Chains A and B, each alone.
Chain A
């Protein structure tokens, strides 16, 4: 467990490459093999839904992604296996996703998957089988810090950086993580060109954006199927009913579209979801200015290294594709993280992760529990 995959770059490592069937993870596996490591590819069967993943009662055939991953592994010249982690995925990611929405929060399932599946269930099995590291196609960088500790940094190319969804990894997990794409200042087109050069058929495969277990991209439909219809009121800030909905779980803080409010606001300005209350099944809407958040509290912090002491200045990222914003953060004695923003930010929802950075270095992450709106806006 103490082995550091990059401390001795000369020694070939036994690397398990998680291969999704996409271009990034295929190139990552190929680069790891090029670097002289002994690489084995593994595709994770994560969905028990035969329509989206496995067909037939025997689980003999998987759909395109699994085939693409296998094909890439064959071209790279590495062994390839399919591991069935569908049950763990269902418990730790899908059920968590549904429960979070049901509680009026907005979860990030990719983050949860990295924390609980790729760098937990998969990593643990890999280590037990004698592998040294798990390799993925994430754009992030792992470096060995001054004290010898492993540090997670943003990718060299900020536009592609995915350190946000890896912010949940602790030092032990990072010690066994390998991200061969993280230190390249290459565009996605160049990654595709590299795949093409390597003879990987996935070179032209479109990027995946959607939540992998919601194949048709219809998150609302998925949630409605799981949680059922629960009609309730849409109210404005004064509590006046302005519309109705089929289930409060179908909304996200900051959402503007799909509110189906017939009556326009008094000021004629667009209205946004300000609050979701699962207890009374009510969705509150209001003007954009009322979304401004000045501070928040976050729970279940995880640190990539030692936890910070006392209030300190960081930059924070609040969404997978969001920008950075300066904050002051402090870990309170009960383990809650309190964060105040220098400038108000919008569209911050409980359930989302906040990842703190010190320059390019990931300090840690936590799950947003409560937000504090700007007083003036709330009064206003």
Chain B
């Protein structure tokens, strides 16, 4: 086979950490150390006991990083599975207990792992889905949630509102929303995949029923995540089997991935404040540089309640895909939005929900920084973005 004929790009500028971020060396070390060891954490013999100890220590570590009790950490194969388990499992459990409870309240800016799970419930399980209106920054206000629940508090199965949006970086007022939900005894789930390591997550203090986190967004491995689940909740399982994880999520535990996830989780919590300060400052420089080069660029998301590593822009008259191509050709890797929408260009549902003009929503770029980001990355964008936007405008909207 001929070797790939890749043109030479001096340095890669990776600004797509919200899609996935490189694994931390500490996490790689923890994971590879486990690969050499055998043992099913459910076995009773010595090898099993060793694996179980590793898993339970990891559970304790993650619980501490997330302000939860160890028993509240349910390991899953990732964020998507945790979201599905929370949304479907809680819906089924609540409806089973009272058939009147079929209303699902969701923010319209959720990740597709939540949005499509909710849609599926509407299509197959008799759910009535109500999307909570958001402000132009994508935030749901506690009053909005209260209004929606008060319309008929007895028919609500659950509510789900993400902690921070993956595209525009807006942080939603989740603890305030949880307080409202708790008043009515409505379980609130929050997808905190993007928030972990960037803003404080205290599950115990939040009042949430369930919270989703994922390994590979915080420097851990792919294929591992967790649903942090209040002890009083017993969602109907999506996966049936051996009864692992409180009988909520069956399947042999992935000890190496869990060990590495815990290391990454601990470091994400430990380094959060410094990350927010340093990476936030770098991100602010990036926003400033883009605005200077392209004065009519529109910053997406909340300017204040915002993930420190996210910079999202709409560029009037540009196709996001054109910008992506032009920047990629210069070794700058970013995204138009969430990776799943990146097949054929479609305006983002997040931007449409925030009332953005559909044409403007086609010309978006998300720069997301992470633990490997440097000032040189920002400088590369500052240099490239102006000419790229000029060129993309020239190519227009097809």
Contacts and interface: CB of A to CB of B under 8 A. Distances in A.
A121 interface: yes
Given A81-B325, A121-B398, A129-B392, A199 B1 contact: yes
Interface stretch (B23-31, B153-161, B211-219, B336-344): B336-344
Interface in A19-76: 30, 33-34, 38, 40, 45, 54, 58-62, 66, 75-76
Contact of A77 (B4, B112, B394): B4
A130 B391 contact: yes
Contacts of A59: 343-346
Interface string B320-347: 0110111011000000000011111110
A45 B398 CA distance: 12
Interface in B127-141: none
B326 A58 contact: no
Contact of B341 (A60, A78, A79, A81): A60
B398 A83 contact: yes
Interface in B324-383: 324-326, 328-329, 340-346
Interface string B249-292: 00000000000000000000000000000000000000000000
Contacts of B329: 14, 38, 40, 79
Contacts of B342: 60
Contacts of A79: 325, 328-329
B124 interface: no
A128 interface: yes
Given A75-B4, A77-B5, A129 B325 contact: yes
B398 A61 contact: no
Interface residue tally on B, bucketed by range: 20 to 34
A77 B4 CA distance: 5
Nearest to A85: B398
Contacts of B185: none
A198 B2 CA distance: 5
B395 interface: yes
Given A76-B4, A129-B326, 7 more contacts: A34-B2, A34-B5, A60-B341, A61-B343, A75-B1, A130-B391, A199-B1
18 contacts: A33-B5, A40-B329, A59-B344, A60-B344, A62-B344, A75-B4, A77-B6, A79-B328, A79-B329, A81-B324, A83-B398, A125-B322, A125-B398, A128-B394, A128-B396, A129-B392, A197-B1, A197-B2
**Those 7 A-B pairs whose CB atoms lie nearest each other, nearest first:** A77-B4, A128-B395, A59-B344, A199-B1, A77-B6, A128-B394, A33-B5
